[in-house]
Every structure is written in structure tokens, then in C-alpha cells.
Amino acid sequence: MVNQIVLDKKNNVMKREFPLEKLRNIGLMAHIDAGKTTTTERILYYTGRVHRLGDVDDGTATMDWMEQEQERGITITSASTACFWGDHRINIIDTPGHVDFTVEVERSLRILDGGVIVFCAVGGVEPQSETVWRQAEKYKVPRIAFINKMDRIGADFYNTMEQMQEKLACVCVPIQIPLGKESSFMGIIDLINMKARVYDENDPKGLKFEEEEIPTELIEESRHFHDSLIATLGEFDEIIMDKYVHNQQIHSDEIKQALRKATIQNKIVLVLCGSSLKNKGIQFLIDAICDYLPSPLDVPSMKGINPVNEQGEERIASDDDKFCGLAFKIMSDPYVGKLTFIRVYSGILKSGSYVYNSNKNVKERIGKIVQMHANKQQIREVIFTGDIAAAVGLVKTKTGDTICDETAPIILESIDFPKPVIFMAIEPSTKVDQEKLSIALGRLQEEDPTFKVNYEKDTNQTIISGMGELHLEILVDRLLREFKVQAKVGRPHVAYKETITEKVSSTGKHVQQTGGHGQYGHCVITMEPGEVNSGIEFVNKIRGGAIPREFISSVKKGIESAAQSGSLAGYEVTDIKVILVDGSFHEVDSSELAFKMAGSIAFSEGLKKRKPIFLEPLMNLEVLVPEEYMGEIISDLNSRRSKIESMEPKANIRVIKGKIPLSEMFGYATDLRSLSQGRATYTMEFAYYERVPERIANKIIGKEEAK
């Protein structure tokens, strides 16, 4: 790799600090409380990025810099930093584990090359573990697994690995096994070099460890796993297989090379173990990140569409290619204003230069580039291919936008975000706060694509919506702390939806005569129930030019606009297949506006002909409860319309899994604590929308009418 030479404003020569093949862009992901942020803190400590061990429990974690994160002991927003290990540079993004903030994981995975999934050795594969795993699968991100908390009572490395194979359907290849467990956990056995690495118990910081021979009682088990590792590798590597079959010596470098290749190809998942809190196993995790996870050169070239000719384009991971990057996160900074986080896929980006936003078709100037370390900033004059940094000065660029060289425009695949499932009304406490509230909500909405703000003219209310109670609670708290806005909020409400159950035909006609040109639009549609989660599917079956081609998209826009508000209670309409079958036009009076109105009228009339039904969000629920409280918890869940699917024993507790309507879960955290004396916990995430029972639907309509 030839270093790219760049001159700064003073004509000083600046070089890429590390060759591209020595760069790692990784994210740490996990279920809440698996020890992900503690693991990140230890990585920063051992790489010399910080000189003091941060702790989540006492609010000193570097990466949890928000006040709310320090108070609650959870990660809310993804934080990025960079550290160095030997001749490698590692860009790390620490992501939240709570399902309400899953968008942070989604957008981080979109721009990362590799990932570390942290599992709790006691809890095993938990619900959010499965969610982040599916997200990593979606973006084809190679990953390694770190089984944490081996020092905890009930820790079981092998059971966690079995759960990974069963629930995540992955090929687990342990390259370590634990040396002891629970209070006797003292280190790891390296299955590649067949050595034990034992930590010095007199060094609480975990800096001292000795490489020893494997204890006699563990030799047979270690050989079993070593042979299994080689046999698995042989399925993907012919050289390894040939040597294995002919009983020839296989060197550790050959094993590492084959492991790296299979990991990058997503054929296997390497499994490591340790205890982040007790500072054991982290150095070997960092080694594995450098040894086995991909550099930007190891992942497929970035593909996109040229907005000019709509042909496919490709960008090679090279400083010499045309500049191309993706804006994946917006953050408000109290000192410099809006920070736009960018992943550079090709070329270089200089401070003070102009970039082209190919999604918005605008040019913008990069005022300043900063390298982030949590909420601290380091100014950089230039960033290179593979770098992740934040830019100041991009006004119109939003999350998911592509910025590139204007002479070589490209639009990269954007990021899909889930729709909000919960909403509440908000209003300023005083008139003075009115304008401040509007500005603050706008900034929060810009930062978080799953946070929506709407103004309802009928009720004169500002409605905010998000992914859960905690999500909205945190955002309202931020209004007060960061933006100094006093506001009152209403009780949370569920984001119901409406749909139809029968096929119906409908006609929409918009005719308006005035002096000069009039308006004429006429369309005939059929509406029928669509697939679950299909939204509004539009099918054009116009034949013989009954409606000119240029007006078809206008009909579609009118239908989509009308679907924003249903006929039952004004909720969004979804899961309907709309077929445009006929219509007519006027050579002079027809226009895009007229056909948009006609489409809207046809859709609204169709809804009135067939009474729609309500759909409500159902959540996947998992409750961890001690045996003695099972009766009360089950009884309470049954009263909340839950569908219990399983009750499994895990260590000394029971795990209840099932589906439950979101509308029944408001305040559940408090009720659960009360029923179990604070010993039970739960997690939930969105599953799908399902028809609301008629008695509940009548209540919803009654509430809307009462308003």
C-alpha cells in the first residue's frame, strides 16, 4: 500500500498514519447489561487511549459521556473513538444494548467492516443479542463473539456457545476455552498455540499474565477443541484439510490465516472469552480484532447508482479513487453546532473543501473535520479512505445521504429505519419556551431518524413519536438538560394502524373549472388486503393510455398521501394492495396536481366503502423471574392479553417468552418490580402488527371521539 501524500494549508506534508490494510473499523454490540461498554473501556485502557479504567456502575465510563447514560448505567447513543494496537489503528463504535435505541446499532453496522458481539456467560443469547445478530447478517458484517462475565456465578461458556449455534444458526469456532470459571476463573487456554495464559491475581489491572503449559486435567478437553477447530477449518481450506488428513504439522500462522479468511467470508464465528470487569482476556480480544476482522481492503467494493444515468457505479477502497462517503449520524454539539459523522469509502476529504450531496443535489462546504473520542474532538486537516470522522458545516446533509466528488456522482444504498410505535403529545410550559421547543425538536429529529414530530391541526397539538417509553423519556429529558426547554408531556399512546379485510373498487375524480385552464383528473382503483408489513403496494395496470404515463406517479403520490390518515380514527393505513385499473384525462386541463387529488379521493372513498379494522403493534416479550414469583407474573401477563409461548428454566430463574400488545405494557416496569420485590426483569422488542379485538377497537374509537 503506497501512502497518499497530502499537503495541508501550510504546505506541510501529511501521510496516512497507518496503511489501509492495518485499519479496523469495528463495532461492539450486545444485549443490555452484557458488559459491552465495560469491554470497550478495557480496550481503550490496554491500547493506551485512556489512562484510567472507566466503570459503568460508578458513571466514569469514557464512552457513556451523556448525563443520562452515567445516571442510568446504560448506553443511549453510539460513541466513536480510535485507538492503536501494535501497527494497527482500530476505529471503535460502542452501540447501545437497549432495544429502544436499536437504530444506533443499525446505522453503525451499515458503515462498519467488522463487529464484536458480546455475550453474557450467565444470560447466554438474549433477545437483543438475536436482534443485533440479525442486523449484522443483514449487512453481511463479519464478526467474532466474546463471552464475557466468566467470573460471575452461573457462568457457562459451553452452554452459551450451544445457544449461539441453536438460536443464531452460526458455525461457532472457539479459539479459546476458559481456565476455570466463576470465582476460580484465572485465564484462558489458547487453542491455536495450545498454551494456558494465566493472569496474576496480585495485579488487579490485568496487565500481568504468564504463558504456561495446559493443566493436566484440561489437556484432553483442550485437544478435543483444537482438533475440532482444525477439522472445521478443513471444510473451508484445502491446505489445512490435506495436512490434517495426512497427519502433518499445521503451524499456528497457517491456522490464523485460514481462520481470518473464513471469518471475513462469514463462514465461521470465532469465540473468545474473558471477564471485562476483572480485566481478564481483553488483550487477546484486541489481538483477535487485528488478526481476524477485515480491513477496508478485505470487504467488497462499495456499489451505488450514478444519479445522472442511473447506471451502477463502484468505488474501490483507495485514496487514489474519487471521494465518496456516507453520512450515518447527526449530532448536535453545544460549541460547533451540527456534527455530521462520515465514513469515507474512497478517496480523501480535506477540511475547507466542497462536497456534493448526490441525494439532495446540492454542494456543501466542509468547514472543519474532527476525530471524535466519545464527546471530545481532535481537529484533522484531512481524512483518508476507511476513516470515520465528523464534519462541521454540512447544513442540508441528513442521515443516510451520500457525499461525493461532484465530477463523479454516486448514490450509495441508504439506511432503513424502523417506524415509531409509540407517541405522546408535548407542549411548552410557557410562551417563552414555544420557539425553543420547536428548534430543539427539529434538532433531535435530525439526530434520530426513529424520532418523529408532527403537528395536528385538528387538536392544535405537537405529537412526538418513538420506539418506546424509555426512548421518549430520554428525549424529553434531553430537551430540559441540553436545550433548556421546559415542556409538559401527555400520557404515551400506541401508534395503531388501519387496514381493510375485503376487496373494493373505487373511483376518484377531481374536476375544477375556473377562468382559463381548469383541473381534471380521473382514476379507478381496486383495493385489496396486502401482505403483512407490506405497507401500501401500488400496481399500475393502465392499458391503452387511459391515463398518460407522466400522471401515473401523481396518482400513486395521492394514494400514499391519503394513506397517512385513515377513516376510522385518523391512524396511518397499511398493508393494502392498490391496483390502478382505469381512468381518463383532458388534453388541456389534466395536470399532476389533478391526478394526485384524484388518487387521494379514490383511496379515501374506498376506505369508507369497506369499514377498516385496527392493527396494533405486538411485541416479543421475555421476562426473567425467580421461581417463587411465577404465579403472580403469569397471572398479570394473562390479564394483559399476552400469548405465552414458552417457560424455560435458566440457572435459578425461569424465562417466560411470548407476544404481548404494546398498549398493555405502559408502566409494566413498575408493576413487575412490585410483583417480584424488584428481582424480575424484562425486555421487549417490536414483532409485527396484528388485528385489534373488536372490544378494544371500540374503546379506541370511543377515545378518539371523546377528544
562 with 516, same domain: the answer is yes
Please state, as a whole number, how many other Cβ atoms lie within 10 Å of the Cβ of residue 67. 13
How many structural domains are present in the chain? Answer: 5
Pull the grid cell for residue 348: 480523501
Q: Given 292, 325, 350, which residue is the final one in a domain?
A: 292
Asked whether the predicted pLDDT for residue 21 surpasses 90, the reply is yes
Residue 381 belongs to a domain: yes
Which residue, 123, 153, 151, 36, is CA-closest to 655?
123
- DSSP 8-state secondary structure symbol assigned to residue 101: G
Pull the grid cell for residue 23: 485499519
Q: How confident is the model at residue 305 (pLDDT cuts 50, 70, 90)?
A: very high
90 with 163, same domain: the answer is yes
Cα-based torsion angle of the residue sequence 436, 438, 439, 440 in order, rounded to the nearest 10 degrees:
80
Furthest CA-CA distance within the chain: 99
Element (H, E) at 680: none
Pull the grid cell for residue 31: 444485549
Higher pLDDT, 665 or 102: 665
Residue 564 belongs to a domain: yes
405 with 331, same domain: the answer is yes
- 100, burial (CB in 10 Å: exposed 0-12, middle 13-18, buried 19+): buried
How is 282-334 classified by DSSP, letter by letter?
Answer: HHHHHHHHHHHSPPTTTSPPEEEE-TTT--EEEE-S-TTSPPEEEEEEEEEET
Report angle CA 563, 566, 569 to the nearest 5 degrees: 155
For the stretch 371-401, pLDDT in tens is 877 557 788 899 999 998 889 989 899 888 9
Check residue 662 and give its pLDDT.
86
Check residue 63 and give its pLDDT.
44
Q: What is the CATH number of the domain that holds 548?
A: 3.30.230.10
| Amino acid in the structure at residue 18 | F
Which residue, 494, 495, 505, 565, is CA-closest to 536?
565
Domain extent, residue 627, equals: 616-706
Residue 298 belongs to a domain: no
User: According to the 3-state scheme, what is the secondary structure of 625-650?
Assistant: EEHHHHHHHHHHHHHCCCEEEEEEEE
Residue 32 belongs to a domain: yes
Residues 16-27: what's their mean pLDDT? Answer: 89
For the stretch 251-274, pLDDT in tens is 999 999 999 999 999 999 999 999
310 with 210, same domain: the answer is no
Per the CB < 8 A criterion, the answer to whether 118 and 89 are in contact is: no
Complete edge-to-edge strand list for the sheet that includes strand 354-357:
362-365, 354-357, 402-404, 324-333, 337-346, 388-392, 368-373, 376-380
Higher pLDDT, 285 or 543: 285
Per the CB < 8 A criterion, the answer to whether 151 and 178 are in contact is: no
Q: Given 292, 320, 350, which residue is the final one in a domain?
A: 292
Distance CA 332, CA 352 (A): 20
Q: What is the CATH number of the domain that holds 468?
A: 3.30.70.870
For the stretch 83-108, pLDDT in tens is 889 899 999 887 765 555 667 777 78
477 with 603, same domain: the answer is no
Asked whether the predicted pLDDT for residue 3 surpasses 50, the reply is no
Q: What is the CATH number of the domain that holds 655?
A: 3.30.70.240
Per the CB < 8 A criterion, the answer to whether 558 and 596 are in contact is: yes
Contact residues for 633 (Cβ-Cβ < 8 A; gap 6+):
623, 625, 656, 672, 675, 676, 680
What percentage of the chain exceeds 70 in pLDDT?
A: 89
For the stretch 414-463, pLDDT in tens is 877 777 777 788 888 888 888 889 888 988 888 888 888 887 665 567 88
Report angle CA 484, 485, 490 to the nearest 5 degrees: 140
Q: Residue length, the chain?
A: 707
49 with 157, same domain: the answer is yes
Per the CB < 8 A criterion, the answer to whether 326 and 356 are in contact is: no
Distance CA 409, CA 523 (A): 38
Distance CA 420, CA 509 (A): 33
85 with 217, same domain: the answer is yes
120 with 215, same domain: the answer is yes
343 with 279, same domain: the answer is no
Tell the residue number behind the cell numbers 429529529, with chain if given: 445
Distance CA 696, CA 11 (A): 71
Residues 483-508: what's their mean pLDDT? Answer: 88
Residues 568-588: what's their mean pLDDT? Answer: 91
Residue 28 belongs to a domain: yes
For the stretch 321-374, pLDDT in tens is 999 999 988 887 767 778 888 999 999 999 999 999 999 999 999 999 988 775
| Amino acid in the structure at residue 44 | L
Which residue, 415, 418, 377, is CA-closest to 399?
415
Q: What is the CATH number of the domain that holds 189?
A: 3.40.50.300
Residues facing residue 304 across a β-bridge: 313, 412
Q: How confident is the model at residue 198 (pLDDT cuts 50, 70, 90)?
A: very high
Sequence-ordered strand ranges (E) for 204-296: 209-212, 269-273
Residue 121 belongs to a domain: yes
How is 131-191 classified by DSSP, letter by letter?
Answer: HHHHHHHHTT--EEEEEE-TTSTT--HHHHHHHHHHHS---EEESEEEES-GGG--EEEET
- 535, burial (CB in 10 Å: exposed 0-12, middle 13-18, buried 19+): middle
Distance CA 272, CA 286 (A): 11
Check residue 444 and give its pLDDT.
87
Residue 183 exposure: Cα atoms within 13 Å on the Cβ side? 0
Per the CB < 8 A criterion, the answer to whether 296 and 19 are in contact is: no
172 with 264, same domain: the answer is yes
Per the CB < 8 A criterion, the answer to whether 172 and 191 are in contact is: no
Pull the grid cell for residue 492: 404515551
326 with 189, same domain: the answer is no
For the stretch 106-162, pLDDT in tens is 778 888 999 999 999 998 888 778 878 888 888 899 999 999 999 999 999 999 999
Tell the residue number behind the cell numbers 467474532, with chain if given: 144
Most confident of 69-73, 318-322, 622-626: 318-322
Contact residues for 384 (Cβ-Cβ < 8 A; gap 6+):
4, 16, 20, 319, 344, 348
Q: Is 655 left (phi over 0), alpha (psi -120 to 50) or beta?
A: beta
Residues facing residue 272 across a β-bridge: 146
Higher pLDDT, 190 or 83: 190
Check residue 64 and give its pLDDT.
42
Check residue 459 and give its pLDDT.
56
For the stretch 221-249, pLDDT in tens is 999 999 999 999 999 888 888 888 888 88
Distance CA 576, CA 529 (A): 5
Per the CB < 8 A criterion, the answer to whether 700 and 496 are in contact is: yes
157 with 249, same domain: the answer is yes
